[in-house]
Amino acid sequence: METVVHNPGLDGVVVGESAICQIDETRGSLRYRGYAIEDLAEQATFEEVSFLLLHGDLPSSCDLQEWQAELTYAGSLPTVVGQFLQTVPSSAPLMDVLRTGVSFLGMIDTEAQDVSHEANLRKATRLLAQMPLLLSWAVRTRYDHPVLKVPATKSFAQSLLYLLTGDLRESHAKELEVSLNLYAEHELNASTFAARVTASTLADLYGAVTAAIATLKGPLHGGANEGVAEMFYAIREPEEAQGWIHAKLRGKERVMGFGHRVLKHEDPRSAIIKRRAKALSQQADETRWYEIAEIIERTMKEEKGLLPNLDFYTAVVYQLIGIPKQAFTPIFVTSRMSGWCAHIIEQQDHNRLIRPRASYIGHPAREFLYIGDR
């Protein structure tokens, strides 16, 4: 093997082409299939954004009606999944329940092994529609709460919020929807890359999504939004925030919700969700979490030059709309499902096995000795 420069963590390495998401890290801009995130986040519904990601274009009103009907039609869970959920210990992290639930759904889907474009789209639609149900069943059976049935006319965001909290307020659903739009896609982040690696072996879509969920769980990736909530609970009062952060940094600990591998200057999603968090805090007359967040933001900028990423102010919004902390990262799953599936489909439509190399730093060649001679 010729000598190659290696980049730990594949930092800055371009491994392929994609027509789904464009990140311009110098300008701090983000586009889904050509549309700026600033236009999509607050003006589009999650149904429009997920259609755009999976089908390549924004839907016409006729497409949208069909898409909503497809999602509603696909949105039921087989009885065996309900039986499986009854066996899950209440201590199991919800991300593990989703990961296993998706794997389970793949095992019983007769179309699972078909990696054609059409079959992949059908499976993606089913998974997108089933995720809120799987999540709410997992949460509600855990607390012995009856599983709720969503009114058929409700949007994806309204249904998800209702299924989790029983809240049907449109204003709260709008906040959730903005966050779903922001979470839907982000190029070759770790979980999407994991999904593409798995898909590149021509393994099935469920397997690729299972790998993605396992990858998203980590605190350096999707798990960060729950880490932010834990930090808020630990700090509790605005006047404690600065000292708390200083202590963490002195201990060389990472502060969740700050920093990004690609977006070193600004995360354009963060400005949007911060604005929403501020307005929501004022409307709800509950400004404590936002005040804590602003002090943390200021301290991190002064001490480390680091800026908040999407997970940071999202935790304030979720807190204010009554989402239980352990559902924060699973909600990320329900949204990123659209981006993951778009990438899996793109990968399998133009497949080449992903198989990088490593630079060997182990023991030089040595002679094998039989066990008695060692």
Ligand X SMILES: CC(C)(COP(=O)(O)OP(=O)(O)OC[C@H]1O[C@@H](n2cnc3c(N)ncnc32)[C@H](O)[C@@H]1OP(=O)(O)O)[C@@H](O)C(=O)NCCC(=O)NCCS
> Three-state DSSP class for 130?
helix
* Identified catalytic residue from 186, 221, 260, 343: 260
State in angstroms the smallest separation of the CB of 263 from ligand X.
Answer: 8
Contact stretch for ligand X (CB under 6 A) within 23-31, 239-247, 259-267, 318-326: 259-267
Residue 260 appears among annotated catalytic residues? yes
**Owner of token pair 């058929």:** 152
- In the complex with ligand X, which residue's Cβ is closer, 212 or 255? 255
DSSP codes, 233-287? HHH-SHHHHHHHHHHHHHTTPPPTTB--SS-SS--HHHHHHHHHHHHHHHHHT--
Instruction: Give dist(CA 353, CA 159) in Å, integer.
Output: 38
Out of 19, 152, 220, 247, name the contact with ligand X by CB under 6 A: 220
Q: Is residue 280 involved in binding ligand X (CB under 6 A)?
A: no
Applying CB under 6 A, does 256 fall inside the site for ligand X?
yes
Question: Per CB under 6 A, does 247 bind ligand X?
Answer: no
What is the C-alpha to C-alpha distance for residues 125 and 181, in angstroms, rounded to an integer?
17
Site membership for ligand X, residue 92 (CB under 6 A): no
CB of 18 to ligand X, least distance (A): 19
Q: Is 27 in the site for ligand X (CB under 6 A)?
A: no
333 binds ligand X (CB under 6 A): no
- Please identify the residue of the shown chain whose CB is closest to the bound ligand X: 259
**Residue 304, Cβ neighbours under 10 Å: how many?**
13
3-state secondary structure of 319: helix
R_g of the chain computed on alpha carbons: 22
Select from 200, 215, 309, 334 the one that contacts ligand X (CB under 6 A): 309
CB of 251 to ligand X, least distance (A): 10
Is residue 259 at the binding interface for ligand X, with CB under 6 A as the rule? yes
Phi/psi of residue 16, each to 5°? Answer: 175, -175
Catalytic residues: 260, 311
